[in-house]
Amino acid sequence: MIEHEELFLKSALAGDSVVSPTEEIMPWFWSRRDAHEFVIEQIPFSAMDRWGVEPITGNLMHESGSFFSIEGLQVKTNYGIRSEWQQPVINQPEIGFLGILAKQFDGVLHFLMQVKMEPGNINMVQLSPTLQATRSNYTGIHKGRAPSYLEYFFDLKKHRVLVDSFQSEQGGRFFRKRNRNIIIEVEEDVPVLPDFKWMTLGQVQHLLSIDNIVNMDTRTVIGCIPFGGATDGYGFPADSFRRQLMDSALSKGEAFHSYAEIRSWFTSQKFRFDLDVSLIPLNEVSEWEKGDFEIYHQRQDYFSIIACRIEAGSREVVSWTQPLVKAPEPGLVAMVTRRINGVLHCLVQAKVEPGIFDVLEMAPTVQCTTGRYRIVPKGHEVPFLDYVLNVSADQIKYDALLSEEGGRFYQEANRNVVIDAGDDFPLEVPENYIWMTLRQLKEFVKYHNHLNVECRCLLSCLAFLDPQEVAE
Amino acid sequence: MIEHEELFLKSALAGDSVVSPTEEIMPWFWSRRDAHEFVIEQIPFSAMDRWGVEPITGNLMHESGSFFSIEGLQVKTNYGIRSEWQQPVINQPEIGFLGILAKQFDGVLHFLMQVKMEPGNINMVQLSPTLQATRSNYTGIHKGRAPSYLEYFFDLKKHRVLVDSFQSEQGGRFFRKRNRNIIIEVEEDVPVLPDFKWMTLGQVQHLLSIDNIVNMDTRTVIGCIPFGGATDGYGFPADSFRRQLMDSALSKGEAFHSYAEIRSWFTSQKFRFDLDVSLIPLNEVSEWEKGDFEIYHQRQDYFSIIACRIEAGSREVVSWTQPLVKAPEPGLVAMVTRRINGVLHCLVQAKVEPGIFDVLEMAPTVQCTTGRYRIVPKGHEVPFLDYVLNVSADQIKYDALLSEEGGRFYQEANRNVVIDAGDDFPLEVPENYIWMTLRQLKEFVKYHNHLNVECRCLLSCLAFLDPQEVAE
C-alpha cells in the first residue's frame, strides 16, 4: 500500500516534468482557452429551453426529468443558530464520476489534466480532471457522445486504482450529492488530446497558488491523495512550514489524538446533533421569492438561482440553457494549524450541513461560504473567524481565491486560507473541534463521506513545494 | 492504539477469571432467569394497549408517536431477483445505544455483562451488554427511570473509549436503524448489581458456543473488537484452525488484497447497484394481508407481524403490549474461509438490503435470514448456498443457533456457521464477493456502516479458545 503513497509524494515534490515543462503550462492553458469560443448571458426563466417550472411544485426541472432540478428543502436541526428553515437545493441523485488518469514518466507519476469549459467558470476554462462523467455516461444509458477517456475507467482490474471513494459536494447547496473520486494508474501509452496535458502533482499544486485556475473537481480528487514513504526532509529546513507540513503528512512524530479517539469524537458528534431534512416543493419554501430572472432570499444575502443561455464551440456551435447558482460575494474557508509536541496539526470541526449525506462531516476550522459571516448576530459569532480575519500576514501560509464547480455555480469563488497559528494558540477547543495531523485527515478521507468538500479542497492546496521556486 | 488491541487479545485468550470463575457463570445465568417472572401471550391487534392502527395509513404505532412503528416500504433495485417490491418495515429513527463497561482485573480486561429479559427472547433472558438505551434515555428527554450504568457513558473523556461507531441492524427488517456500539474502559470500582457479572472475552465467547444464550446486542458490540499485539501463537498448533484465525486477526502474513483494493471494490459495488426506497403507508403494501392476529405475506413464507402482551417482574408486576416480528423458520448465516498464501481469509459479499443506510454493506458469504432460501427459483440460486449446506462435518468450525434482538423479534434464531473450505476452494469469486483477512474486516468495522449486523455477529463467534477447553 505504501508503494503508491511514495509515488504520490515524489510527484508532489516534482516542480518540473520531462513531458510537460513548467514554463509551457500556463501559455498552453491560455491558448486552449482561446481555441474555444463561448458566450454566456443571463435570461429570464421563461426563456429557458427544455427547462421549466413544474406547475404544482414550482420546482425548476429539465423536461427529460434527468440532469438536476432545483427543489425546496425543509431543515430541522439542533446545530447552530437556527433550529428550522427552508431553502432551495440542487437535487442531483445521480452519482458523478471524477476520474484522473495517472502514468509514470521517468518514474514520476503524472496526471492527465484537462482544460475544460464550464458555463459558470471564472476564466471560462479551468484545469479539470481527465474525466467528469455521470453514472449514465458510464453505464451508457444516455446514447450521446461519450466523454473522452471514459473507456479507461470501465474495467478497473486492468489498472492500478490509487484513490477510489464516494465524496460529498457542498452540503449547503446540494441534496446528498456524491461523486466517485478516482485516480487510476495506467501503463500503456495514452493518446493526448489537445485540451489535455500530463502534469506532476507539484505542477498542479503550483497552479493552485494562482486564483481560479484549478477547478473544484480537480481539487477534491487531489485532496484525497495520501502521501507515504520515509524521508529525511528532502533538504527543506526543519523549521520551515512546508517541511512541517510534509512531516505531518508522513506521520513523523506523535499525533495529539489516536485514531480511536478521533473516531469516537466523530461518532459522539453524530450522536449529539440531529439533522432532519426533507425535500419540499420549491414554491412552499418560505422567505424566498421567485422573480422573472432570479429565485432569491428576501434579505438578498444568501445565494440565488438564475437562468443562463450558453453558446460554445468554435466551428460547430452548441447552445443550451440551464439554471446556475449565484453567490452574492466570496466566502471564506480557513484551516488553522499549529505544532503540538513539534508536529503540525490542523484544527478540524464536525460541521452539520443540510445536504450532507450523514448529518455531518469533518470541515476546515472556519467555513463561511455565503458571505453572511459578516452579519452574524452578537453572541453567535463563528468560532475562530475573528482570529482568522485579523491574523498577521506572515502567519498566512496559503491564500487564494478558488472557484466552485462551474457546471452549477456562476462565477463563484471562495477565499481559501491556511494559517500557521503558532505554538501559543490554545490547545483547548470547543467540543465539535479537534486537532488532527495531515496524515490522519488523509486516512479518514479514504472512507466515504468523512471530509467535506471544503476540507478536501483545502488539503489539495497544501503543497510541499514553494510556488516561488517552481515558478523560477 | 495497539495497546488496547493487545488487551482485547489477552481477554479473548482468558478462559477463566479471577472475579468470575467460569463454572459459576451458567448457574448464575439460570438463577437470574428464575429470579424474574415473565408471561408473554399473543393477542389480537385490537387488544393492544396504547398501540393502534393509524386510520389513514394503516401503520401500527404507539399513541405517543415514540418507540417504533410498523410501516410500509417501497423498494426498487437492480440487485437480486426482484427489481421492485413492497414490504412492512420497522421504523425506529432514534439511534440506539449499546454500551459495554470494561475494566481490568489482574491485568485482564473484563466486560460487565447483563442477564436481561426481552419479550421475544428464547430462554426468556439472554446475556446482554451493560447498557441498552435509546438516545432519549441518554439525553433525558423521557423522564422515566434511567437504565443502570447509564451515567458512566455521559462524559466519555473520563474513561478510555475502546470501540465507538454507528452500526446497522437487520437491513431486511429495519428502515435505516443504527446503534451506537461502544466499549469504554473504567478504572474506578463499579458496583455490580445482581443481574450483572464481569466476564473475560474468552468467557463470553465460550457462551457463544451454546445456542441462544448471548443476545444480538452483545454480539454486534463484541464483533467490533479489534485484536493486536505480537504473538508466537500462544502454543496453539500451527495447523489448527484457531491458530490460523488468530494469525489472520493479528495480520500475520500477507493479505490477498490491499486495503486500497478492498476500498475500491466496495466503492465499485456501491456505484454498480441502485437502491431506491421510500416509506409508504402499511395499508398500501401489496401482497401482504392484515388479519386480526397477524400481518403476513400471502405466501406465508416471509416474516409476519404479531401483537403480544407481556407481564414481567417478581414483586411489582409490569405489563405492556407491543408488536413483534415473527420469522417462519430459522435462517442461515455462513462464512466460508480458506487459506490464501497460508493466511486465513473470509469470503465476504457486498449485500444490498432495503433498510441499509447506504445501499450495501459487507456481509457473510451466505446470508439467508428468511428461510426462503429453500425455495429459490431455478437459475437464481444463492451463491455458495449449496456448498454450505453440503459441506462435510469436519469442515464446520462453528455452528450454533443465535437469536435476533428479543425486543423486536419473537423467538427468532438463525443458524450461524463458519466453514474451513480448504485450499481447493476456488479463489475466483463473483464480482460482488471478495476475500479478506480477519484483520481487514476488523479495520473496516471501525468505520460506520461497513459490516452488516449478520457479519459483525458472526465475527463475534470466532473464538481463539477451544470451547471444550474452557468448559473443562
Q: Which residues of A touch B184 (CB under 8 A)?
A: none
Q: Which residues of A touch B181 (CB under 8 A)?
A: none
Cβ separation of A1 and B258 shorter than 8 Å? yes
ipTM for this model:
0.94
Asked if A234 has any chain B CB less than 8 Å from its own CB, the reply is no
Grade residue B450 by pLDDT with cuts at 50, 70 and 90: very high
**What's residue B2's pLDDT?**
53
Which one of B135, B156, B259 has the shortest CB-CB distance to A1?
B259
Q: Nearest CA to CA, how far is B184 from chain A (Å)?
A: 11
**What's residue A302's pLDDT?**
87
Q: How much is the mean pLDDT over chain B?
A: 93
Asked if B142 has any chain A CB less than 8 Å from its own CB, the reply is no
- Least confident range from A107-111, A155-159, B214-218, B392-396: namely A155-159
Which one of B166, B259, B271 has the shortest CB-CB distance to A267?
B166
The share of chain B scoring above pLDDT 90, in percent, equals 82
pLDDT digits (tens, 9 = 90+) for B34-92: 998 889 999 999 999 999 999 999 999 999 888 899 999 999 999 998 999 999 999 99
Q: What cell was used for B217?
A: 446486542
Please give the Cα distance from A234 to A216 (Å, whole number): 29
Grade residue B144 by pLDDT with cuts at 50, 70 and 90: low
pLDDT digits (tens, 9 = 90+) for B3-28: 899 999 999 999 999 999 999 999 99
- Going from the C-alpha of A345 to that of each of A349, A425, A433, B161, the distances in angstroms are 13, 12, 12, 22
**What's residue A352's pLDDT?**
97
**What H or E segment, with its residue span, contains residue B265?**
helix B259-272
Cβ separation of B180 and A271 shorter than 8 Å? yes
**What's residue B367's pLDDT?**
96
Grade residue A179 by pLDDT with cuts at 50, 70 and 90: very high
Residue B143 has pLDDT above 60, yes or no: no
The answer to whether the CB of B373 falls within 8 A of the CB of B387 is: no
**What's residue A141's pLDDT?**
56
Q: Residues 166 to 185 of B: which have CB under 8 A from any A CB?
A: 166, 180, 182
- A149 DSSP 8-state letter: T
- Going from the C-alpha of B128 to that of each of A176, B116, B161, B220, the distances in angstroms are 36, 6, 19, 11
Grade residue A394 by pLDDT with cuts at 50, 70 and 90: very high
- Least confident range from A214-223, B396-405, B462-471: namely B462-471
The answer to whether the CB of A432 falls within 8 A of the CB of A353 is: no
Residue A2 has pLDDT above 90, yes or no: no
pLDDT digits (tens, 9 = 90+) for A112-150: 999 999 999 999 999 999 999 888 777 765 556 788 999
Q: How much is the mean pLDDT over chain A?
A: 93
Cβ separation of B267 and A165 shorter than 8 Å? yes
Grade residue B372 by pLDDT with cuts at 50, 70 and 90: low
**What's residue A313's pLDDT?**
79
| Average of per-residue pLDDT across B331-343 | 96
| Average of per-residue pLDDT across B362-366 | 98
Q: How many CA atoms lie within 13 A of A256 on its CB side?
A: 21
Instruction: Concatenate the DSSP letters of all residues of A194-260 into one string.
Output: TTEEEEEHHHHHHHTTSTT-B-HHHHHHHHT----S--S-TT--TTSHHHHHHHHHTT-S--SS-HH
**What's residue A130's pLDDT?**
98
Which of B261, B277, B451 is the best residue to mutate to test the A interface, defined by the most A CB atoms within 10 Å of its own CB? B261
The answer to whether the CB of A390 falls within 8 A of the CB of A381 is: no
- Going from the C-alpha of A358 to that of each of A108, A270, A452, B155, the distances in angstroms are 37, 8, 11, 24
Asked if A357 has any chain B CB less than 8 Å from its own CB, the reply is yes
Residue B271 has pLDDT above 90, yes or no: yes
Which one of B164, B259, B271 has the shortest CB-CB distance to A95?
B271
pLDDT digits (tens, 9 = 90+) for A204-224: 999 999 999 999 999 999 999
Reference B335, options B265, B391, B289; nearest CA is B391
**What's residue A426's pLDDT?**
97
The answer to whether the CB of B90 falls within 8 A of the CB of B68 is: yes
Phi, psi (degrees; rounded to nearest 5) at B368:
-125, 90
Please give the Cα distance from B298 to B290 (Å, whole number): 10
CA–centroid distance for B170 within its chain: 8
- Least confident range from A41-50, A62-71, A447-456, B191-200: namely A62-71
**What's residue B369's pLDDT?**
79
Cβ separation of A263 and B447 shorter than 8 Å? yes
Which of A164, A165, A182 is the best residue to mutate to test the B interface, defined by the most B CB atoms within 10 Å of its own CB? A164
**What's residue B376's pLDDT?**
73
The answer to whether the CB of A360 falls within 8 A of the CB of A449 is: no
pLDDT digits (tens, 9 = 90+) for A224-271: 999 998 777 778 888 899 999 999 999 888 999 999 999 999 999 999
Please give the Cα distance from B234 to B14 (Å, whole number): 12
CA–centroid distance for B89 within its chain: 18
**What's residue B1's pLDDT?**
44
Cβ count near A240 (within 10 Å): 12
The answer to whether the CB of A14 falls within 8 A of the CB of A202 is: yes
